[in-house]
Structure 1
Amino acid sequence: MKVLFVHPHGSNWLGTGQDISAIFNLMPPLGMMSIAAFLEARGITTEIIDCYGTPLRGEALAAEILRRQPDAVGFSCTTSSFLEGYRIAELLKERRPDLPVVFGGAHACSVGVALLDRFPAIDYLVIGEGENTLYELAAAGFRNPAAIPGVGFRRDGCGTLAAPRELIADLDTLPFPAYHRLPGFPRRYNLPLFSYPTAPNTSVISSRGCPYHCSYCDRSVFSRGFRFNSPEYIVEHLAYLHREFGIRHVFFYDDLFTFDRRRVERLCVLMEERRLPVTYNCIARLEHVDDELLRLLRRSGCWQVNFGIESGDPEVLKQHRKFYGLDEVQRKLLMVRKAGLRVKGLFMIGLPGETEQSIRRTIDYALSLPLDEINVTKFTPFPGAPIYRTIGEQGTFTEEWPLMNCLNFVFVPHGMTREQLEGLYNEFIRRFYRRSRIHWGYTKMLWKSPHSVAHFLRHLPAILRFEREQKW
């Protein structure tokens, strides 16, 4: 039995112009790789085609899949990549009608079995965590899906779910993701420029789920609980990456890396004791950090901490997430900087209830904070997010799946226009990065992140061409 996994490219930029994003930020498809490793550990052969790392699309991708002669094909799709993945599934079914085609990932889990009523080239859906579900489906020869929890299938022509799949209680029972199945790993993959001190680097996920209830977050795959790898497992994972692939820096891509304080404290102690030559970045919530924890993070090799700030308008924040005082944000970020860590702020523009005035407050607020860099996303109401149910009442929503990638304004709040939002977005980026303090910060990267500088210079023509197109 051979299962071939496909990570389709989809739409990853602004709808027009060159897509330069994969040049400067390409992370491996960890969810798919975890399932592949789980199947391999149980005797099933797997292969992976990551269309970001190995650019293949359309007929060429379908031909490559068929050339490898798999017994089944599994697609992992976001909302923006789903339709491209489905076009490949249609091509496969035209040439091999008997080939089982399975879809999983965020879009399949959030939309659910209704997809089977509209997209006939899909045979099965994996709803929720995929390791046990896909293994049991493959072990059964892709027959009798009604007996396998977590499988979406057709009964009398209509999509139905066999039964909900229980979550994996102990994540330490999972093997490390199948990094070895990615051609060019780690050379072809890279964290965002100037977000790491050294290379090669990669991303790691050490927990699943989130107990918070932000309006814009889709939790349809891993649910709202919180499960995590033990500190011992994480250290062995990092040691494996360093030993087998030379990895020297990782980004813990967990939503809540610092949620369980005892876990983080123990991890920091173990990394100090092992003298592991791997540094790291993480994402944290401001309410989880204090001076003592920050000192531990710094000593154990933490280089940068990312914080989801989202907005500088208190009323907007109260509508969409647990409120955290804006003055307290400033204090905590200064604490992080004092500990010797870089700070990245994560913001969002175009949330329901926003106005030009509230967005300008966010821009001014971001400029007042001690941030080294920012990431600004364009609010996208994904099907699995709580806000999706009432989004049509709060503005104009153009539900074009290929554009739903947080890089396009598919939603416009009442009282605003898309042109306004685009102008404010560009102003946000321009005002933040065209400041002498930020320029000096990147100048210091000449010795703090030399690989980023070399990578940046190698692709400078593409950057300048993109900047001209965006009129920043």
Structure 2
Amino acid sequence: MAKLLIYLVNPQVPRSRDEEKKGLYPPLGLLYIATVLKERGYEVKIYELNVESSNKLIHDVQREQPDVVGITVHTVSFPIVKSLIKELRQSSPSTTIVCGGPHATLCPEDFINIADIVVRGEGEEVARDLPNLLHAIKELKTRAMKTTLVVQGASPNIDELPIPDRALLNTSYYGENIGVLVTSRGCPFNCLFCCVRYLFSRAYRARSPMKVLQEVLYLVDRFNVHRVKFVDDEFTVVRSRVREICQLLKEYGVGVTWSLPNGIRVDTVDERLLRDMSEAGCDLVWFGIESGSERVLKYIRKGIDLEKARGVIKIAKDYGIRVGGFFMIGAPGETLDEFKKIIDLIPKLDLDYIHFSIATPYPNTEFWNWVQVHGRFITLDYQYFEKTFIFETPDYTIRDRLRAVELLERELGYYELSDDVKIIEELLTRT
């Protein structure tokens, strides 16, 4: 087979105010796949549509007629991707369209007769088998006018994956976030509201401390990175591994500061680990606390102790680590009165930062099924997911949720969700 030309696309994803403040993260999932494809000898180009115009992509597709266009798809970006694929088809009918990412994993049925190939789960092993897949879809197309091949990606040994080649990116798009990296996949916990287990399973797979060090050194040497962000779904599951990473960072005199912006559990750290992290350059940790109600925490299977959370936060701050807390509005089983407990709790935690997200059920997940049993959806339009309240329950109506936002503004001065109030008011007039 001749050398393949492959475009990989990170589509535009609507972002919240807090996400805008954090800046754009490099698309590490795409980058892992791009690096695997490059090792196979294919020509690979990455398009970052959160910065670049889709017109450039369409123009290049029309001019170069790539063999494959691969697109990572989040639920909230699916409407945008659907329109984009129509334009791609018009520009190059012979190009094979491959979709992967969270929404492709959760809802492959949404891509039938839209994409040629849908990849569920992790994509590296699928990328290695790309020639066979292209042959298979070609055979299928000879028998039917429209068809879509759905493929389940195997979970790779992530310690054997290459370091993602950031040279494939326009690094100027990401600023200091070029120092973002992932050291593990999967989460062994089973929170009702979370969909990570559907994407990577509950089997926790971690890269060895030495491999983590090698990637940090690569970032320092190649891109002059001074700050690293570990964006694992749960970085501190295995404390001994984290301690070894800390020891290596100190032994090699790497000299970077680092943070855990995706959040970790308060019950996966202790004083010894926080001390080691601080000594190795960690200066910011976010904890997933989610609720101020012990009953709700038990109901959603978060299973943390709020008194322990207070103690862990104090220890982290004593070691000079700034601390942020993640919370939700609308957790399964929550009521407005129980949400008010968050308002009472936050001043006692002495957090440096807080972030509130809107509890969002995704299709074909346990949380989605829970809403169908215990409440009702206000909208199923993907463009509103994560941005506003898409469901309510008899015990926690949309009006109650709007009052919760007002409480955040009045009691805590938190205005990051204010725009969402306007969106839901518009939706309510349609129901």
- Residue from 139, 144, 150 that aligns with 2:136: 144
Q: Quick check: 1:126–1:134 contact (8 Å CA) kept in 2?
A: no
Distance 1:124 1:61 in 2: 20
Q: Quick check: 1:10–1:83 contact (8 Å CA) kept in 2?
A: no
Deviation at 1:427, TM superposition (A): 3.1
Matched, 1:324 2:304: yes
Deviation at 1:21, TM superposition (A): 4.4
Distance 1:3 1:416 in 2: 48
Is the partner of 2:212 in helix, strand or coil?
A: helix
The verdict on how the C-alpha distance between 1:11 and 1:205 changes in structure 2, with shifts beyond 3 A counting, is same
AA paired with 1:390? W
Q: CA deviation digits over 1:339-380, x for unaligned, max 9?
A: 211111011111222211111111211222121001110010
Distance 2:213 2:227 in 1: 13
- Residue from 134, 140, 146 that aligns with 2:127: 134
TM-score of the aligned structures, taking structure 2 as reference length: 0.88
Deviation at 1:92, TM superposition (A): 1.2
The percent of aligned pairs where both chains have the same amino acid is 30
Matched, 1:5 2:4: no
Matched, 1:27 2:5: no
Q: Which residue of 1 aligns with 2:68?
A: 72
The verdict on how the C-alpha distance between 1:300 and 1:426 changes in structure 2, with shifts beyond 3 A counting, is farther
Q: Quick check: 1:6–1:51 contact (8 Å CA) kept in 2?
A: yes
Matched, 1:263 2:241: yes
RMSD, aligned CA: 2.7
Q: Which residue of 1 aligns with 2:328?
A: 348
Structure 1 unaligned blocks of 5 or more: 14-18, 148-153, 191-198, 435-462
Distance 1:353 1:65 in 2: 48
AA paired with 1:276? V
Is the partner of 1:371 in helix, strand or coil?
A: coil
Q: Quick check: 1:350–1:413 contact (8 Å CA) kept in 2?
A: no
- Residue from 235, 239, 247 that aligns with 2:225: 247
Q: Quick check: 1:101–1:122 contact (8 Å CA) kept in 2?
A: yes
Q: CA deviation digits over 1:163-209, x for unaligned, max 9?
A: x44311x31211111311222x1x3325xxxxxxxx57532111000
Deviation at 1:234, TM superposition (A): 0.7
Distance 1:21 1:266 in 2: 31
Matched, 1:115 2:118: no
The verdict on how the C-alpha distance between 1:272 and 1:146 changes in structure 2, with shifts beyond 3 A counting, is farther
AA paired with 1:250? V
Deviation at 1:394, TM superposition (A): 2.0
Q: Quick check: 1:12–1:80 contact (8 Å CA) kept in 2?
A: no
Distance 2:278 2:116 in 1: 49
Q: Which residue of 1 aligns with 2:159?
A: 172
- Residue from 400, 410, 417 that aligns with 2:381: 400
- Residue from 96, 100, 113 that aligns with 2:96: 100
TM-score of the aligned structures, taking structure 1 as reference length: 0.81
Distance 1:313 1:78 in 2: 30
Q: Quick check: 2:75–2:103 contact (8 Å CA) kept in 1?
A: yes
- Residue from 263, 269, 278 that aligns with 1:289: 269
Q: Which residue of 2 aligns with 1:446?
A: none
More helix by percentage: 2
Q: Quick check: 2:286–2:326 contact (8 Å CA) kept in 1?
A: yes
Q: Quick check: 2:119–2:153 contact (8 Å CA) kept in 1?
A: no
AA paired with 2:47? I
The verdict on how the C-alpha distance between 1:365 and 1:155 changes in structure 2, with shifts beyond 3 A counting, is farther
Matched, 1:212 2:189: yes
Q: Which residue of 2 aligns with 1:228?
A: 206
- Residue from 163, 166, 181 that aligns with 2:168: 181
Q: Which residue of 2 aligns with 1:56?
A: 53
Matched, 1:383 2:379: no
Q: Quick check: 2:67–2:94 contact (8 Å CA) kept in 1?
A: no
AA paired with 1:181? L
Deviation at 1:85, TM superposition (A): 0.9
Q: Quick check: 1:279–1:302 contact (8 Å CA) kept in 2?
A: yes
Q: Quick check: 2:126–2:154 contact (8 Å CA) kept in 1?
A: no
Q: Quick check: 1:78–1:107 contact (8 Å CA) kept in 2?
A: yes
Distance 2:72 2:25 in 1: 15
Distance 2:117 2:310 in 1: 48
Deviation at 1:225, TM superposition (A): 0.4
The verdict on how the C-alpha distance between 1:80 and 1:229 changes in structure 2, with shifts beyond 3 A counting, is same
Deviation at 1:389, TM superposition (A): 1.9
Distance 1:83 1:272 in 2: 46
Q: Which residue of 2 aligns with 1:315?
A: 295
